[in-house]
Amino acid sequence: MTNFADTTSPLAPGSVAQAGPLLGSLEKTLQDEYSVMRLPDDVATLDPADAAKVRAVVTSGRNGVPSALMAALPNLEIVTNFGVGYDTTDVAQAVARGIQVTHTPDVLTDCVADTALGLMLDVFRRFGASERFLREGRWESAGFPLTRRFSGSTVGVLGLGRIGQAIARRAAAFDATILYTTRRPVDDVPWEHVASAVELARRSDVLVVAVPGGAATEGLVDAQVIRALGQDGFLVNIARGSVVDEDALIAALEGGEIAGAGLDVFAHEPHVPERLIRDDVTLLPHVGSGTHETRRDMRDLTLANLRAYLAGEPLPTPVPEMSAV
């Protein structure tokens, strides 16, 4: 396959395309530098002549390049994903066709871990609920009910990668006991590896989910795992909505089988089931990495990957599956 870098002529219009909405400043740079083509939401409406021009797609975890879209782009060479999670892109097809895929690890780890801590503190201490209580003028007639101590609790981290480890380090500063579950125990960490998600939930006051999304982890946190948390246990999810069985979570909350949940991600974003909007659930609109600083760093890394590819240089952050390409 011809690489952009082998092309001596200027980049043909339409070579770089955008799938789904992106950060405003990233869209502007792509427009200014590459006259980017915006791909339609419905792949059936994509003109085959336009599709044939596309050699690079810039996207985000929200949209990705799913199977049908990738199949419709015969000359695609690279997908640069804004975000560390790339479960919406068909990586198996990319590997099979020799298409590069990049993402933005590390630069968002701290903000996502901060969000997990915020959710954990909120589900234990109910700061959001107590603030609503004050704003509603209810403090005039009663004090806010007592809550639960987070410091010194047992935190179970499901997925101890970049973000999971950053969560564990932060929770350890609150004197929490850290347990974790991964498929393979992690070297050189001081925390106990627990073999299964059910066992992890059973031994934890709060289970915090930090595994990748996608088919391999879909429904990993099922009814059995959720119930294992017990009536005093909390669930926090900053990973992907697909990892948690949302119906089972709702049933456990409604049945009083767990104490509450803190969620930054949902199965069908931006739709949040009415039955999840409860006082014992803290709900965030997928803001894990949503700070000016981190989104800027994610934009810069997305562009660095695209520019490196165009220049024929090594990609800064290919996804791990690219070692097979």
Return the active site residues: 240, 269, 286
Cβ at position 178, least distance to ligand NAP in Å: 13
Under 8 Å between Cβ of 209 and 159: yes
Cβ at position 244, least distance to ligand NAP in Å: 12
Spatial neighbors of 124 by CB under 8 A, at least 6 apart, are 147, 148, 149, 150, 153, 206, 234
Q: List binders of ligand NAP among 134-173 (CB under 6 A).
A: 158-164
| DSSP characters over 216-275 | GGTT-B-HHHHHHT-TT-EEEE-S-GGGB-HHHHHHHHHTT-SSEEEES--TBTTB--GG
Q: What is the DSSP letter of 174?
A: T
Q: Which of 11, 182, 251, 303 binds ligand NAP (CB under 6 A)?
A: 182
Under 8 Å between Cβ of 57 and 39: yes
Of the candidate spans 133-141, 147-155, 205-213, 275-283, the one that interacts with ligand NAP by CB under 6 A turns out to be 205-213
CA distances from 300 to 14, 262, 294 (A): 22, 30, 10
Q: Which of 84, 179, 194, 249 binds ligand NAP (CB under 6 A)?
A: 84
Cβ at position 85, least distance to ligand NAP in Å: 3
Dihedral (Cα; 129, 135, 137, 142), 10-degree rounding:
30
* Integer Cα distance of 178 and 36 in angstroms: 46
* Integer Cα distance of 214 and 210 in angstroms: 13
Cβ at position 76, least distance to ligand NAP in Å: 22
Q: Please count the other Cβ atoms lying within 10 Å of the Cβ belonging to residue 60.
A: 24
Nearer to ligand NAP, 184 or 292 (CB): 184
Nearer to ligand NAP, 71 or 223 (CB): 223
Q: Which of 135, 183, 271, 292 binds ligand NAP (CB under 6 A)?
A: 183
The site map against ligand NAP for 94-133 (x = CB under 6 A) is: -----------x--x---x---------------------
Assess 194 for contact with ligand NAP (CB under 6 A): no
Of the candidate spans 13-21, 117-125, 133-141, 216-224, the one that interacts with ligand NAP by CB under 6 A turns out to be 216-224
Q: List binders of ligand NAP among 227-246 (CB under 6 A).
A: 238-240
Q: List binders of ligand NAP among 11-70 (CB under 6 A).
A: none
